[in-house]
Structure formats: structure tokens, C-alpha cells
Amino acid sequence: MNIIAIDIGNTNVKVAFYLDDEEKFIRSLEGDAPDMREELTRILRESWERIPLVRSAMEHIHEGVIVVSSVKPAWTEMVEQMVKAAIGERILLIGRDIPLPMETGVENSRQVGTDRVVAAAAAYAVVEDAVAIASFGTAVTIDLVDEDGVFRGGVIAPGFAMGAKALHEGTAQLPLVKIGPPQGGYGANTEQAINAGLFYSAAGLLRTVVEKYAEEIGKWPHVIVTGAAAGILKDECEFVDSWVPNLAVRGIVIAYKKYIFEKAHIDELDAQDNGGQ
């Protein structure tokens, strides 16, 4: 399959290009960057031109799709318009045009960010057992998929940058700090203290939540971390099994393939029913 997968987050837009099911690239763009629109338009046009034409089609049709997962409606509309203007195509939006790729046990699946569910689907597709998925981005989400492949829900907390900004703006003298691995167990100055506090809060949250999940399901789940800030945290948490930087975009591809497979199966059953009448 030929797929351009776009993961629209609260801060960044990630674009992945798959040609004949082979991952060609994954690029991350800052959503508010001045050149974001220009760069995304260039990526769309160059990628789309690499996708072969449908041989049997009378018109100039490329054999590919653009599939999007988004948690930011304003950017969804922007990207939808950009795709139409750049290559004359429409997007397929997960949750609107494509159903969620796995069963959920939450109260209202429409209120769950599709990025969380597609990342969970990608994780479960590999592990095929109970798995906890921790994403460290603008927010921290730690979600649980049980051994039967049901998305059970999760927890949401502020991300590193959000926490640092809250401390800076909510106090008179605390500086704005960029979070990284602490130099020790405590900070010798204010900047180090803030860094250590936010870093160890995230590490402690992850451990505590995974322990709670293990109590709930009766077994320790496989733990996968993803997201922009996961790389600086994974080495502190020895219980983390895998680090997958771009889990959500891979989940978008899984969601589309599952949709196509199930649609083909339904069409086949309908054809059999009509043939038997």
C-alpha cells in the first residue's frame, strides 16, 4: 500500500510516507513554525508524485491515500485544505472516515484522542499481549491495552514543557527551564531543582501507574514509551521494555489497513448474499 500518514498533535505535525508498505521517511514539523505550511506542501507534493498511477484508470489517479489522526481540530481543517490545494486529494480522518482500530472499554470512545488509540493499536500489534503505552509530548498519557486487545483507558498529566511553564508563570521568581536528565538525585540550584522535580515526577508517575495497571489485570504489562520527550526518560525507568519514537504514525497505517481488510470482507459477504438470492 502507498500511504501518507499524518499525525496532528497539539504542538507538532508528523508526516510519514509508505511506498509499497516500505517506510520511506518520518518527519516532524512544528505546527506554529513560520515555514510549516510551505514545508508540508512540499512534502505532500513530492511524496504524492512518487506514488504510481492506477493502470486501469482513465484519469490521472495515483494509487495512494492520505490518512490523518488529529487531536487539534483547527489544524485538521488546515491540513485538509492544504492537501486539497497541493495535490487535489481528500484526507481520510480516523474517527470520522475510518473507525478506531481496536475495541475500547471506555465510557465514550469519541472523547479519547485518536493518537492514543492508534498508538495503542500499533503497540498491541507487536506485543500481542497486555501493554502499557506511555507517550511523553505536550501532555503525558499512559494507556492500557489488556491481553485481549481492548483499550481500557489511561491517565493524562502535564508534559515536561507544560509543567515547566506552569512553574515559571505561576510564581514570581522561578525561571523557565528546559527539562533533561538530572545530574543527580537533587538539584544544587533552582534550575536543577526544577529539572529534577519534573523529571522524577514523570518517572515516578510512570512506575506508579504501571503498577496500578498490573494490579488491575493481574500481570505486569509490556511497557512501551513514545513521544518527543521519551528519549530522555527511558534510561531512568529500568522497567521500560521498548522505546518507539513514532508509534502513532505507525498506528495510523495499521488503522487504515484494518479498515480496508474489514471492508473487503464485508463486501465479499454482501456479494455472496446477493449471489445466493
pLDDT digit string (tens) for 39-67? 999 999 999 999 999 876 566 789 999 99
Calculate mean pLDDT across residues 188-209. Answer: 96
What is the model's pLDDT at position 89? Answer: 95
| Identical fold between 3-98 and 129-245 | yes
User: Which fold is adopted by the domain 129-245?
Assistant: Nucleotidyltransferase; domain 5 (3.30.420)
- Please state, in angstroms and as integers, the Cα–Cα distance from residue 40 to each residue in 27, 51, 62, 64, following that order: 10, 17, 19, 17
Assign 3-state DSSP to the chain and report helix, strand, coil percentages, each to 5: 45, 25, 35
Please, what is the average pLDDT of the chain?
93
User: In this predicted model, what pLDDT tens digit does every residue of 156-180 receive, in sequence order?
Assistant: 999 999 999 999 999 999 999 999 9
Q: Specify the pTM.
A: 0.91
- Alpha carbon distance 80, 163 (integer Å): 32
Q: For position 277, what pLDDT does the model report?
A: 59
164: helix, strand or coil: helix
* pLDDT at 235 (0 to 100): 86
pLDDT at residue 151 in the model: 98
Which whole number is the average pLDDT over 135-141?
Answer: 94
Domain spanning 3-98: CATH 3.30.420.40: yes
For the ranges 212-216, 251-255, 259-263, 270-274, which has the lowest average pLDDT? 270-274
Q: What pLDDT score does 61 carry?
A: 86
Q: What is the pLDDT of residue 264?
A: 80
In the chain, where the domains are located:
3-98, 129-245
Average pLDDT on 141-166 reads 97
* pLDDT confidence band for 86 (50 / 70 / 90): very high
Torsion angle defined by CA atoms of residues 204, 30, 67 and 158, in that order, rounded to the nearest 10 degrees = 20
Higher pLDDT, 230 or 276: 230
